[in-house]
């Protein structure tokens, strides 16, 4: 069994979501989501397929416009900020399905992540030091990697931009169990080093390992809070997902 993430409590509020609504055109998918993430915390959002987890992530990073509500980041209202400006302000987004550039090399994928910081080779090398498996495959096309390796690449691509918060959307999806464990260890390790984490998952085990506390989402709303104790209790999590 993997260990759980039991670090100290976070500091100031880094990300504050208030009464957020958003839609793809017909009817709101997010229906008044509110929660906050403190600096240094690792917060999970657990919810079944289709409840709006990805929509929430896209709205936070600005790929989808909110129809109502507010997003504050580092004390600043960013609700109407362009996605590229949000990225620069400190969002490291790891989208569901990873979205690596399949025809580009591993190294070039990382270069894209580092563009805003002046495409510095030292930043790429820093990532390779942290992800030796990516270094071994640095000249390989990203599309030729396994699902787990692509997930690691997507995480490294987000980290190389120097984010203040890492937003992970179902990193376990399509990844073999041993690599899911590795991703869990990586999340805990990053959080211990001070990285703030927002993790969206359906995978109970990864949620239990990676998050210190969390929320349950249903039909576009947060319906309950998960304390550290709730996260440690498998049956609470399974009930939350109605498994």
Ligand X SMILES: Nc1ncnc2c1ncn2[C@@H]1O[C@H](COP(=O)(O)OP(=O)(O)O)[C@@H](O)[C@H]1O
59 binds Mg ion (CB under 5 A): no
Which range binds ligand X by CB under 6 A, 34-42, 52-60, 84-92, 110-118?
Answer: 52-60
202 binds Mg ion (CB under 5 A): no
Long-range contacts, stretch 225-233, CB < 8 angstroms, 24+ apart: 226/44, 226/46, 228/4, 228/6, 231/4, 231/44, 231/207, 232/4, 232/208
54 binds Mg ion (CB under 5 A): yes
Between CA 153 and CA 158 the distance in angstroms is: 9
95 binds ligand X (CB under 6 A): no
223 binds ligand X (CB under 6 A): no
Pseudo-torsion of CA 146, 158, 38, 226, nearest 10°? -20
29 binds ligand X (CB under 6 A): yes
User: Which of 20, 41, 53, 78 is the binder for ligand X (CB under 6 A)?
Assistant: 53
Q: Is 10 helix (H, G, I), strand (E, B) or coil?
A: coil
For the CB of residue 50, give the shortest distance to ligand X in the complex, in Å. 4
143 binds, among Mg ion, ligand X, none (CB under 5 to 8 A by kind): none
Let me know: does 54 contact 47? Beta carbons within 8 Å.
Answer: no
49 binds ligand X (CB under 6 A): yes
DSSP one-letter string for 157-180? HHHTT--SEEEEE-TTTT--HHHH
User: Which of 9, 19, 50, 102 is the binder for ligand X (CB under 6 A)?
Assistant: 50
47 binds, among Mg ion, ligand X, none (CB under 5 to 8 A by kind): ligand X
Let me know: does 28 contact 69? Beta carbons within 8 Å.
Answer: no
**Given the complex with ligand X, which of 53 and 137 has the nearer CB atom?**
53
96 binds Mg ion (CB under 5 A): yes
> Kind of pairing, strands 196-201 and 165-169?
parallel
94 binds ligand X (CB under 6 A): no
Catalog residues that contact ligand X under the rule CB under 6 A.
Answer: 24, 29, 47, 49-55
């Amino acid at each position: 069994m993997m260990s759980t993430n039991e670090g100290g409590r976070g500091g100031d509020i880094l990300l504050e979501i208030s009464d957020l609504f958003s839609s793809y055109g017909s009817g709101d998918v997010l229906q008044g989501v509110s929660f906050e993430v403190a600096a240094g915390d690792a917060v999970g959002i657990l919810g079944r397929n289709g409840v709006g987890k990805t929509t929430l992530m896209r709205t936070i990073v600005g790929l989808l416009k909110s129809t109502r509500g507010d997003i504050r980041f580092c004390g600043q209202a960013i609700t109407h900020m362009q996605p590229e400006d949000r990225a620069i302000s400190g969002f490291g987004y790891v989208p569901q399905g990873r979205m690596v550039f399949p025809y580009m090399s591993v190294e070039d994928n990382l270069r894209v992540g580092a563009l805003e910081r002046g495409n510095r080779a030292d930043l790429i090398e820093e990532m390779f030091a942290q992800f030796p498996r990516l270094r071994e495959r640095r000249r390989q096309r990203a599309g030729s990697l396994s699902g787990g390796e692509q997930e690691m690449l997507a995480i490294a691509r987000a980290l190389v931009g120097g984010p203040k918060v890492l937003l992970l959307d179902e990193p376990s999806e399509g990844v073999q169990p041993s690599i899911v464990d590795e991703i869990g260890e990586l999340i805990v390790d990053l959080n211990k080093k001070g990285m703030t984490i927002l993790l969206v998952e359906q995978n109970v085990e990864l949620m239990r390992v990676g998050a210190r506390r969390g929320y349950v989402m249903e039909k576009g709303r947060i319906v309950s809070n998960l304390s550290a104790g709730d996260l440690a209790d498998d049956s609470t999590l399974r009930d939350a997902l109605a498994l």
